[in-house]
Structure 1
Amino acid sequence: MAKYEQEVREILEAIGGEENVDKATHCVTRLRFALKDESIVDTDKLEAISLVKGSFSTNGQFQVIIGQGTVDQVYRDIVELTDIGESSKSDVKDASAKKMNPFQKAVKTLADIFIPILPAIVTAGLLLGLNNLLTGPDIFFDGASIVDVYPQWAGIAEMIFIIANAAFAFLPALIGWSAVRRFGGSDLLGIVLGLILVHPDLLSAWSYADAQQSGDVPTWNLFGLSVEAIGYQGQVLPVLFASLLLAKLELWLRSKTPDSIQLLVVAPVALLVTGFVTFIVIGPITFALGNGITSLFTWLFDVMPAVGGLAYGLLYAPLVVTGMHHAFLAVDLQLTGAGDGTFLWPILALSNIAQGAAALAMLFVSRNENVKGVAGTSSVSAFLGVTEPAMFGVNIRFKFPFICAIIGSAIAATFISNNNVLANSVGVGGIPGIFSIQPGAWLEFAIGMVIVLVIPFVLTLAYGRTVARGQFK
């Protein structure tokens, strides 16, 4: 017997009925619907249901926040009580993608590629933070690090660095695996492609500028054509475009090659052709393009750090709403791959904390027990780097907390950008993110955290108890 039969029927009625649902699935906390017509959804009626903690639409999906654990049973009840049937996340994504414009599809593609490799990148960021504690000067001792004072820790620090840095040293292999799989090819070939681009016999991308200046860049002579024999360590664009070519070429070869000789033909030909095209055409063009994008952002934050920080601090949370924030992950990885650190990711971390602080204030503003429960739990989640429950379940729902969070984020972003706060890597996008910040900027980042904890909380509390108090009677 369905445990939440009444609530399920109310949810379906609010979203336009069973006939308005194309596909349905769920994640850890949310029901995910690909709806035929989102305009007929009655959001107020939906969010008045006791089980529902919020709703939002993104990337062509309408998502209803239920909560961890409960959402599993609610989804099972939907399947049992209706003819909607079970669907996987990819089924819902495919159904939702049909309603996207080309730009939205491109952003979604980037998200599909980068999200699967995030655990490896975030883990590497946390471990690099641990390495920072051991090797960073002026953290525990004036002018010296733990390793300087206690040399017996040097071997441990070195080993931690190697373990942490592997994800960045072989970043093209991670991207190649995820990208080729996303484009429909064999993910194993994607890994091989990525490893080809960082082969130790190639000139490292990190040494390219010096070699170019001294005129020592190695080259291949291909029938009179001079091709630079350089690797693409820390680069994002070369492996992305090469992966697209590899996947499409592999699929085409599979369709034209008899099954009996596919093993001898498909992978060797696909890799060989892709390798040649990448080193001759794709690599040089995208290498220059990637460095150009990096230089543009670096120039902005060097010349006008306050403007750059303010703009990104203002825009990051709205970008999350549209899903476009995933596009900037590629820029973050490009910046960290260059070896100097990223100035964008610290702003992301502070924006997440700001959303949590605004949601926490709603715990004291609202008189609705359901809202209080969501505000309390979602604020903790945001402080630890997961903002969707706070943003969509509370802040955007009441609008003014979202705006207050953006104000706090913009002020803090301006401050840390002016003080050249950099992260060595992408890490946990919340309070624990301080461990990914370069040690010399911990104080400034900590001040930024205080700003995004205090300003959004105070503004939300003050506005909610004065101007918006009528909403909570």
Structure 2
Amino acid sequence: MDYKVVSQQVVDNVGGLENIEGATHCVTRLRLVLKDTSKYNKAELENIDGVKGVLYNSGQLMIIFGTGTVNKVYDEFMALTGVKEISASEVKGAEADKKGKFFSVLKVFSDIFIPIIPAFVGAAIIIGLKSLIVANGLFGMEGSLADHSEFLKNLASFFAIIATTFDYLPVLVMYSAVKRFGGNPILGILVGIVMVHPSLMNRNTFVMDPTGAEYWNFGPLSIPMVAFQGGVFPAILTAWFMAKVEKIAQKYIPEVVSFVFVPTVTLILANVALFIVFGPLGNLIGDVLAGVIDILYNRRLISDLSRTH
């Protein structure tokens, strides 16, 4: 596939360069924001080499190329056109607004998690391989493959280390969520690292025995020094707040010192909000949802058992 030719054909069939307001991409799709949506030719776009489908949704023209291919097309497209690279928060969402708040919330979660799906997939496969090596009784043998091979034992240990996606989930979510909300994703990574900082008490240990936690004491305010492992909701809520703080700081801090003070103010306020407000609130939301899911699952299980008897 000639990616330059493909990119030019895309430009020609969306109304020309002057009709493209911005571009981005996800795992499988080239996403374009057009000034005039009546100018794109769906039939011609679908006939372009490598295109697997075309659809328009939530203010975006989405041209499906597939995993891997879309990255190469996007790079060539940006080099060819020089159009603005947009974040998901900048995409015009008139269609999403018409479908209501619930759809908009789902769209936010989609925008946050779709970019990091490859990290989940890769880590899951690696963990699966590691489990295969250490599984006892495989193929009828005594013990595991690791018990019979020093090489496989070391390979299992290596796999356990490199499959870090789930150990550092808040870092990935903070990066993607801050980017989604229009903030600096690098600052999001820093807050994500704070959420799993090794100097903080493990949250699972804290839940089992809160008496072992140390506290930061700021006058009447006492904050437990506890991490947020697996904190998806704390990360998303903090990322939203962080992006807002950064934009406000950029607006009011003088430009001559903004390079120094904008990230400083953003990081301090975001971390304060994480430990005082959004961390506990996010954990509460997660616990409530887990409880609801558990109740629904048990009801379904009881219903299925009653039918069998």
Q: TM-score, normalization: structure 2?
A: 0.71
Q: Structure 1: how far apart are the matches of 2:269 and 2:138?
A: 51
Match of 1:232 in 2: 228
Match of 1:129 in 2: 128
Match of 1:200 in 2: 198
Cα distance, 1:123 vs structure 2: 1.7
Match of 2:170 in 1: 172
Q: Structure 2: how far apart are the matches of 1:89 and 1:277?
A: 30
Q: How does 1:38-117 map to 2 (within 5 A)?
A: 55-63=54-62, 87=83, 90=86, 94=90, 96-101=92-97, 102-117=101-116
- Aligned 8 A contact 2:170 2:235 in 1: yes
- Give 5+ residue unaligned stretches, structure 2: 305-309
- Aligned 8 A contact 1:177 1:191 in 2: yes
Q: How does 1:352-391 map to 2 (within 5 A)?
A: none
Q: Structure 1: how far apart are the matches of 2:83 and 2:233?
A: 33
Q: Structure 2: how far apart are the matches of 1:91 and 1:200?
A: 32
- Aligned 8 A contact 1:32 1:92 in 2: no
Q: Structure 2: how far apart are the matches of 1:48 and 1:157?
A: 45
Match of 2:293 in 1: 297
Counterpart amino acid of residue 243 in structure 1: A
Cα distance, 1:249 vs structure 2: 1.2
For residue 257 of structure 2, give the secondary structure of its aligned residue in structure 1. Answer: helix
Cα distance, 1:265 vs structure 2: 2.6
Match of 1:260 in 2: 256
Q: Structure 1: how far apart are the matches of 2:261 and 2:290?
A: 39
Q: Structure 2: how far apart are the matches of 1:232 and 1:281?
A: 13
Counterpart amino acid of residue 255 in structure 1: K
Q: Structure 1: how far apart are the matches of 2:253 and 2:40?
A: 49
Match of 1:269 in 2: 265
Q: How does 1:128-147 map to 2 (within 5 A)?
A: 128-141=127-140, 144-147=143-146
Cα distance, 1:259 vs structure 2: 3.1
Cα distance, 1:169 vs structure 2: 1.5
Moved over 4 A (4+): 21-43, 45-55, 62-69, 85-89, 91-96, 305-308
Compared with structure 1, are the counterparts of its residues 49 and 293 closer, same or farther at alpha carbon in structure 2 (3 Å cutoff)?
same
Q: Structure 2: how far apart are the matches of 1:42 and 1:173?
A: 40
Q: Structure 2: how far apart are the matches of 1:186 and 1:119?
A: 22
Cα distance, 1:104 vs structure 2: 3.6
- Give 5+ residue unaligned stretches, structure 1: 309-473
Q: TM-score, normalization: structure 1?
A: 0.49
- Aligned 8 A contact 2:57 2:95 in 1: no
Number of corresponding residues: 283
Larger relative contact order (C-alpha < 8 A, sep ≥ 6)?
A: 1
CA RMSD of aligned residues (A): 4.3
- Aligned 8 A contact 1:33 1:61 in 2: yes
Cα distance, 1:243 vs structure 2: 1.6
Cα distance, 1:218 vs structure 2: 3.3
Counterpart amino acid of residue 252 in structure 1: I
Cα distance, 1:193 vs structure 2: 0.5
Cα distance, 1:93 vs structure 2: 8.2
For residue 228 of structure 2, give the secondary structure of its aligned residue in structure 1. Answer: coil
- Aligned 8 A contact 2:112 2:180 in 1: yes
Q: Structure 1: how far apart are the matches of 2:89 and 2:240?
A: 20
Counterpart amino acid of residue 186 in structure 1: N
Counterpart amino acid of residue 98 in structure 1: A
- Aligned 8 A contact 1:176 1:190 in 2: yes
Match of 2:307 in 1: none
Compared with structure 1, are the counterparts of its residues 178 and 221 closer, same or farther at alpha carbon in structure 2 (3 Å cutoff)?
same
Q: Structure 2: how far apart are the matches of 1:156 and 1:66?
A: 35
Aligned identity (percent) is 29
- Aligned 8 A contact 1:227 1:279 in 2: yes
For residue 184 of structure 1, give the secondary structure of its aligned residue in structure 2. Answer: coil
